[in-house]
Structure 1
Amino acid sequence: MSRKLVALGIVAAVALILASTSLFTVAQTQQALVLQFGEWKRTIKEPGLHAKIPFIQDVVLLDARVLDVDPPVEQVILADQKRLEVDAFARYRITEPLQFYQSVGNEMVVEQRLAATVNSALRRVLGNATLLAVLSQERARVMADIKAQVNQEARRFGVEIVDVRIRRADLPEATSQAVYDRMRSEREREAREARAQGNEQAQQIRSRAERERTVILAEAQRDSQVLRGEGDNQAIRIVAESASKNADFYAFYRSLEAYRASVRGENTQMVLSPDSEFFRYFNSMGNAQRR
């Protein structure tokens, strides 16, 4: 009885080993190649449990998802002789597993080959494009050209390029500094021109204002002299008309005004002859009192 159990155990172990080596699983994100002594037998793209001949056939699992390629930053010269440091990336999918396995073998190798291919396509396409095209709406056309060229090379590896994008396109550090210095010099030149034009306009405004001020003062002085002359003329005319009506009274009034102006201070001293014409009215008043 024990021998039968041992025999059954051995058979079960052998069956388990045969089952484990003859069955394999292909995940949803995978595809598989079945090789017999290194020779291709079949390609499996459907996920699930599959079988192979144990110890004779091997299975190579490949990724069925969209994979990324991140080439190193490449410095390219554009058609207008501008230098750009371009950081691009690509996405690819393995479409021909057998061709992929025979040409490159694994994903690490194909990523290296595709990185070199992407950078070569960047140099060729961007070498015929201007900086304006790279930075404008024409960038989509440039990307399409790069993708088409990369795809031509990628088909040899059994892969398809899904997309190629430029992540960043910058001027080299030295060029950026030169552009910054040139922009700064240009802005400083424009500032100097603006200040010079402002000073010129300010000088013109000041000169015009000074000229207008001189004209206004001259006209005001002329008008004031005219008005003053008219006033003096009118005053003389009024005085003359008044004096013509009563000359003796006017003379007497003028003499009183002169007396008031002469003896305005408290210690006023005057040295005059008694018979001076200045005191003729005092003399006439004295003669009248004596009479």
Structure 2
Amino acid sequence: MNRIIALAVVVVVAVLVISSSVFVVDPRHVAVIASTGGRTDSLAEPGIHVKLPPPLQTTTFIDTRVQAFAAPDAVRYSTSDKTELLVNPVIRYRVTDPLKFFAATRGDAQTLSERLASLSRDALSGAFSKVTLTNALAQQEAIANGARDTLREAAAPLGIEVVAIEFSRVDYPPELADAVFKRMSAAREQDAANERAQGAAEAQQIKDDAVRRQQGVLADAYSQAQAIKGEGDGKAAAIAAEAFGRDPQFYQFYQSMQAYRETFKPSDVMVVDSSSEFFRFMRGPNGEAAAAPAAPRKH
């Protein structure tokens, strides 16, 4: 009976020793085998492994997938124009050096969270302090990328690689929201006024250019018209001279008829001396002076 009990105890102890010595690492993790006595920790890749039972050796499983860390509360950051913003960052990272990671955190999630929170605050504070409020709202991706590069370098001693920083929230503190909105509204109104003024100046410039071109066209047209008119007057004078040379009397008659047409209008009332030289063609077709009345005879 005692032998059976002793054998059972031996079997149980053996099972416990074997179960604590054999372990399996799945593809999503690696295992750090920590040894007592100052011996160097070792790394176990995915697969089946054997180690010494505790407390001689202990196993810590480390997730090598991309993971996310988000601070539980929003953090205040100041921009270059001294405006505070409430920011909720999400840090995405993965463990690239499990032994270094284990040495820095002993695999404790709380320790990692505290270290990441502190490092990310420093990186984001530096990134936001370099931009104005307007740029902080409009260039969030660029700010996040800049902070990521800074945090990646600072977190390298932890054995992790920072993959990305994302913002789940970028907002104003409640006590500053009204003042910020008013300032932004005033800035937008000023921008709109500047745009309108610039548009009006450009429109006036276009109008002035159009007037100058119009004046140039009109001046050119007037010059051409005067040239054509002068040419026409010259031809008319030549024709008139030729006509006068052929039949001076007819030319004088024609010129008198033109003068009559320009002088007398249907509504005009004129009192003139019909014996004037101007009306000589009205007294005869040849423009001859009418015969003087015979002098009365004396008896």
For normalisation by structure 2, the TM-score amounts to: 0.54
Distance 1:124 1:94 in 2: 25
CA distance in 1, matches of 2:165, 2:184: 33
1:27 aligned residue: 26
Cα pair distance change 1:183/1:12, threshold 3 Å: closer
In the TM superposition, what is the alpha-carbon distance from 1:135 to its structure 2 partner? 2.6
Aligned pair partner of 1:123 in 125, 144, 149: 125
- Residues 127-276 of structure 1 aligned to structure 2 (within 5 Å): 127-136=129-138, 138-180=139-181
**CA deviations over 1:152-189 (Å, ceiling 9, x no partner):** 111111111111112111122122122445678999xx
Separation (CA, whole Å) in 2 of partners of 1:175 and 1:81:
12
What's 1:114 paired with? Answer: 116
- The whole-number CA distance in structure 1 between the counterparts of 2:114 and 2:25 is 26
Q: Give the unaligned 5+ runs of structure 2.
A: 189-299
Partner of 1:63: 63
Q: CA deviation at 1:131?
A: 2.5
SS of the residue aligned with 2:146? helix
User: In structure 2, what residue type is equivalent to 1:98?
Assistant: L
C-alpha distance in 2 between matches for 1:185 and 1:156 = 47
Contact kept? 1:95, 1:160, Cα under 8 Å: yes
Tell me the CA shift for residue 97 of structure 1: 1.6
One-letter code aligned to 2:129:
G
Q: Which residue of 1 aligns with 2:43?
A: 43
Q: Relative to structure 1, is the Cα distance of residues 184 and 19 closer, same or farther in structure 2, using a 3 angstrom cutoff?
A: closer
The 10-residue stretch of structure 1 (174-183 or 122-131) with the greater mean CA deviation from structure 2: 174-183
Residues 35-64 of structure 1: CA deviation (Å, up to 9, x unaligned): 221533420132x32111224222122222
Matches of 1:181 and 1:126 in 2, distance apart? 21
1:173 and 1:160 mapped to 2: Cα distance?
35
What SS does structure 2 have at the residue aligned with 1:39?
coil
Shift of 1:23: 0.6
Q: Report the equivalent of 1:82.
A: 83
Aligned length: 186
The secondary structure found in structure 1 opposite 2:130 is coil
Would you say the 8 A contact 2:79–2:136 is kept in 1? no
Query: How far is 1:89 from its partner?
Result: 1.5
Q: Say if 1:21 and 1:182 are closer, same or farther in 2 by CA, change over 3 A.
A: closer
Q: Which residue of 2 aligns with 1:15?
A: 14
Q: Which residue pairs with 1:52 in the alignment?
A: 51
In 2, the alpha carbon distance for the partners of 1:179 and 1:7 equals 80
CA distance in 2, matches of 1:128, 1:183: 19
Give, in angstroms, the shift of residue 133 of structure 1. Answer: 2.4
Partner of 1:234: none
Does structure 2 conserve the Cα–Cα contact (< 8 Å) formed by 1:99 and 1:158?
Answer: yes
| Distance change in 2, residues 1:42/1:8 (3 Å) | same
Partner of 1:239: none
Which blocks of at least 5 consecutive residues in structure 1 are unaligned? 188-291
Instruction: Compare CA radii of gyration and give the structure with the larger one.
Output: 1
Alpha-carbon distance in 2 for matches of 1:132, 1:23: 59
Tell me: CA distance 1:164–1:180, structure 2 relative to 1, closer, same or farther (3 Å).
closer
Name the % identity: 27
Q: Secondary structure at the match of 1:160?
A: strand
SS at match of 1:85: strand
Mark the CA change 1:6 to 1:85 in structure 2 (over 3 Å): closer, same or farther.
closer
Tell me the TM-score normalized by structure 1: 0.56
Q: What residue number does 1:246 align with?
A: none
Alignment partners' CA distance in 1, 2:127 and 2:43: 36
Q: State the alpha-carbon separation in 2 of the partners of residues 79 and 186 from structure 1.
A: 17
Two-structure CA RMSD over aligned residues (Å): 2.9
Judge conservation of contact 2:41–2:99 (CA < 8 Å) in 1. Answer: no
